[in-house]
Amino acid sequence: MVLGQTKVAEKSNEITAIPKLLAQLDIADCVVTVDALNTQTAIAQQIVDAQANYVMAVKGNQGNLYEDIQLLFEGFEDALYDQVSYDTACMTNRGHDREEYRQVWVVEDPAYREYLRTHDNWANLHSLIKLVTVRYLPREDKMKTTTRYFISSWQASASEFLRVIRTHWQIENGLHWVLDVAFREDDSRIRKNHAPANMAILRHIATNLLKQERSAQIGISNKRKRAGWDNDYLESVVCP
């Protein structure tokens, strides 16, 4: 569900927009997940100040942070995690002509956090996470392995981290894909003044309402069409 949006200013990026969006939301006691672009110390501090926790993806754009966490987990593996206090969890999914295996490792020992040269810069840094995803496509007989790293202020089990990280990436299928396919957002020719932002808000409201309507067991695109054809159904969507 879309709870808010902030327009990214021209010649800028999400890094400046995310703090404004967070300031609009009551995120206390929530777990906020962001992609690597928004893994910034100021954003982490803002989330902690709002009494929430963060789970932030770490990639090469973070320089020393990525290098340090990668070397740290490689050292753990070389030693087969001997004398390392950690938690791990895994899950397997099958569907859409592919099989996926995910395993996550979580290290919370404060002694290991000191191996990160910038560990003091991250508010309430508590957990270091490694996630390995293996995807197998039976029809093509191909296998792809992806390794990702995360930092977090959250104190949770490995299975909880696995659930939260996977939920973050479902946003692409559960929201952006719906907006593109059901509402043809990418094909919109609306460009002038505030119209693009206004239409984005209307699409988000419509998406939220259609997702909450459960009486019709059909997709969002078909729900949209039905609401346009049937005023009674439209009323059940707008006034649940």
- The confidence score (pLDDT) of residue 188 equals 86
Give me the mean pLDDT over the 170-186 stretch: 78
Does 11 have pLDDT greater than 70? Answer: no
Give me the mean pLDDT over the 17-41 stretch: 92
Report how far apart, in Å, the C-alpha atoms of 40 and of each of 14, 55, 91, 129 are. Answer: 11, 11, 29, 17
Distance CA 131, CA 149 (A): 6
- The confidence score (pLDDT) of residue 121 equals 95
Task: Report CA Rg, the chain.
Answer: 21
Instruction: Tell me the pLDDT tens digit for each residue of 92-107.
Output: 988 767 889 999 999 9
Distance CA 201, CA 208 (A): 11
Instruction: Tell me the pLDDT tens digit for each residue of 122-135.
Output: 999 999 999 999 99
- The confidence score (pLDDT) of residue 157 equals 96
Which range, 36-40, 168-172, 188-192, is most confident?
36-40
Pairing, β 31-34 against β 142-152: unpaired
- Note whether 29 and 77 are within 8 A (CB): no
How many C-beta atoms lie closer than 10 Å to residue 54's C-beta? Answer: 27
How many C-beta atoms lie closer than 10 Å to residue 172's C-beta? Answer: 10
- The confidence score (pLDDT) of residue 12 equals 64
Average pLDDT, the chain: 89
- The confidence score (pLDDT) of residue 161 equals 97
Does 172 have pLDDT greater than 90? Answer: no
Instruction: Tell me the pLDDT tens digit for each residue of 133-159.
Output: 999 888 788 889 999 999 999 999 999
Give me the mean pLDDT over the 28-38 stretch: 93
Instruction: Tell me the pLDDT tens digit for each residue of 80-90.
Output: 999 999 999 99
Instruction: Assign 195 to helix, strand or coil.
Output: helix
Instruction: Tell me the pLDDT tens digit for each residue of 182-221.
Output: 888 888 888 888 888 888 888 888 888 988 888 888 888 8
Report how far apart, in Å, the C-alpha atoms of 35 and of each of 195, 235, 238 are. Answer: 28, 37, 33
Nearest to 106 by CA among 158, 59, 151, 69: 158
Give me the mean pLDDT over the 166-183 stretch: 78
